[in-house]
């Protein structure tokens, strides 16, 4: 699962690139598809996550 | 030899006191005659032993006396310093092994405003300030979307329950790493420092150090210079929520953010996923609008290219037409018809061959004569 902040950063970059003027249609469509997919993944993360709690002692145990 | 013994005959084994008997008696007399009392004086020669016991003298202008304060009495109390004016509540006694008159101190209060705690706090704060650790410019920004959040607190306190509930509601995407620590008592300072050191080695985006309310003694670990320095040394931002809102500890001052309660600390550490979802909606709209804009740009560019193509063809056509006119004018000028119009005529035989010489026109030869408006037939005479 991609890190959420990276996901949002990439989305922001996609939108900004799309908003710039010098794109051919092919590239614009590709970016749009990637943007939609990332947005879907981000939404899924937000709505389906459940808090994971770890005690540091468990982390440190050798198993 | 015998004479000397005689001289001291009164000091017989039966009549003399042993040292131990005297000190024991002195101790009994002192303890019976001087009940526990408050004594006021200045601290001198203060020494804290490894055992935790404190030894010092109390003095004024005319006298001084030895004092001891045992570890179980000075437990968690910040150490006083030489020259400090204090009140002690003490039991006067005799330290028999050394034959010393001594006060066994049960309570020690500074006469300065705020007492020992305040003094120790100010001293540690001054040391931290000197090293620049309280500089507001040191405060780091909290990560907007934390991946891993570590919490240093008591494993069974309300603080942990509150923090966990807030993060589960607001930002369950995160992983919560609980690092249990003793938050009060003699071992709290070391326990909190070791928890922080553990976290410093983990990949964690933000740390919450939390403890519910308590007395100044209960919160003391979070006023220790050692804990404050451990917080300042953390490689990631630290949020501190110690005690009630009115208690500001050194840990709070050094942290990147101070929260009034553990719940508030958890809120500060996390974004609200409802708001982030709304943000995602806005990003989606921008994405759709941007695609529309991008395709409109492509269409406009196509239109412009088409226009240029047509313009280009038009101008080419124009050039050709002009050329054609020029050529036809020239052709026209050269046309034999124009020559005929000026009065010349062309003679040709029946085969159409032009008759240019006398030899081609013998007597009786038939020919056709082309003039400007037509042709006539003739014969050479």
The residues near B336 (Cβ < 8 Å, ≥ 6 apart) are B346
pLDDT in tens, B48-98: 999 989 999 999 999 999 999 999 888 778 888 888 889 999 999 999 999
User: Residue ranges of chain A with pLDDT lower than 70?
Assistant: 1-2, 21, 57-63
pTM: 0.64
CA distance B191 to chain A (A): 14
Provide the CB-side half-sphere exposure for B380 (13 A, CA).
Answer: 15
Homologous superfamily, domain B119-271: Succinyl-CoA synthetase domains (3.40.50.261)
What does the pLDDT read at residue B3? 47
CA distance A31 to chain B (A): 9
Q: Read off the pLDDT of each residue in B20-45 and give the average, rounded to a whole number.
A: 93
Task: Report the percent of chain B where pLDDT is more than 70.
Answer: 96
Chain A residues with CB-CB distance to B under 8 A?
3-5, 8, 11-12, 14-15, 18-19, 21, 23-25, 28-29, 32, 35-36, 39, 42-43, 45-47, 49-57, 59-60
CA atoms within 13 A on the CB side of B208: 34
Q: Identify the pLDDT of residue B297.
A: 77
- Distance of residue A37 Cα from the nearest chain B Cα, in angstroms: 11
Tell the burial category of B331 from Cβ atoms under 10 Å away from its Cβ (0-12, 13-18, 19+).
exposed
DSSP code of B1? -
From chain B residues 91-150, the ones with a CB under 8 A of any chain A CB are: 143-145, 147, 150
**Would you state the pLDDT for residue B211?**
92
Q: Where are the domains of chain B?
A: 17-111, 119-271, 337-379
Does pLDDT of B378 surpass 70?
yes
- Reduced to 3 states (helix: H, G, I; strand: E, B; else coil), residue B135 is coil
Q: Note the pLDDT of residue A20.
A: 80
| H-type alpha helices, chain B | 2-7, 19-33, 71-74, 115-130, 158-170, 188-200, 225-232, 250-254, 262-269, 273-334, 336-341
Asked whether the beta carbons of residue A11 and residue B283 sit closer than 8 angstroms, the reply is yes
DSSP state of B346: E
Complex confidence, ipTM:
0.78
DSSP string, B177-206: EEEE---SSTTHHHHHHHHHHHHHTS--SE
Which residue among A39, A45, A53 sits closest to B178, beta carbon to beta carbon? A53
**Residues in chain A within 8 Å Cβ distance of B293:** 18-19
Domain B17-111 has CATH 2.40.50.140: yes
Residue B116 pLDDT: 74
What DSSP assignment string belongs to chain A? ---HHHHHHHHHHHHHHHHSS---HHHHHHHHHHHHHHHHHHHHHHHH---EEEEHHHHHS--
> Which residue of chain B comes nearest to A53, CA vs CA?
B176
């Amino acid at each position: 699962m991609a890190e959420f902040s990276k996901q949002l950063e990439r989305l922001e970059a996609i939108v900004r690139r799309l908003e710039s003027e010098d794109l051919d249609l092919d590239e614009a469509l590709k970016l749009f598809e990637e943007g939609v997919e990332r947005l879907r993944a981000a939404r899924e993360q937000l709505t389906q996550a459940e808090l994971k709690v770890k005690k540091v002692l468990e982390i440190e145990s050798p198993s | 030899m015998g004479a000397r013994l005689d001289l001291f005959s009164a000091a017989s084994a039966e009549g003399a006191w042993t040292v131990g008997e005297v000190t024991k008696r002195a101790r009994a007399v002192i303890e019976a005659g001087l009940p526990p009392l408050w004594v006021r004086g200045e601290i001198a020669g203060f020494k804290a032993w490894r055992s935790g016991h404190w030894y010092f003298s109390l003095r004024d202008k005319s006298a001084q006396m030895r004092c001891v304060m045992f570890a179980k009495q000075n437990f968690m109390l910040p150490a006083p310093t030489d020259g400090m004016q204090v009140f002690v509540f003490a039991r006067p006694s005799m330290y028999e092994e050394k034959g010393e008159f001594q006060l066994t101190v049960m309570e020690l209060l500074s006469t300065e405003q705020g007492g020992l705690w305040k003094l120790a706090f100010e001293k540690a704060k001054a040391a931290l300030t000197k090293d620049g650790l309280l500089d507001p410019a040191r405060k780091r920004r909290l990560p907007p979307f934390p991946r891993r959040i570590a919490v240093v607190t008591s494993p069974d306190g309300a603080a942990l329950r509150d923090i966990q509930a807030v993060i589960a509601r607001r930002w369950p995407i995160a992983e919560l790493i609980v690092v249990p620590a003793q938050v009060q008592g003699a071992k709290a300072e070391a326990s909190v420092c070791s928890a922080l050191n553990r976290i410093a080695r983990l990949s964690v985006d933000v740390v919450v150090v939390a403890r519910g309310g308590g007395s100044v003694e209960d919160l003391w670990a979070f006023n220790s210079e050692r804990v404050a320095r451990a917080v300042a040394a953390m490689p990631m931002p630290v949020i501190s929520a110690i005690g009630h809102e009115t208690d500001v500890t050194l840990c709070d001052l050094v942290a990147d953010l101070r929260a009034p309660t553990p719940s508030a600390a958890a809120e500060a550490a996390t974004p609200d996923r409802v708001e982030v979802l709304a943000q995602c909606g806005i990003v989606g709209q921008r994405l759709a609008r941007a695609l529309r804009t991008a395709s409109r740009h492509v269409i406009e560019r196509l239109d412009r290219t088409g226009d240029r193509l047509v313009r280009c063809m038009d101008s080419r056509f124009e050039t050709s037409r002009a050329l054609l006119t020029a050529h036809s004018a020239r052709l026209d000028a050269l046309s034999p018809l124009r020559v005929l119009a000026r009065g010349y005529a062309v003679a040709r035989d029946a085969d159409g061959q032009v008759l240019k010489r006398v030899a081609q026109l013998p007597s009786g030869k038939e020919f056709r004569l082309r003039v400007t408006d037509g042709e006539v037939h003739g014969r050479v005479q």
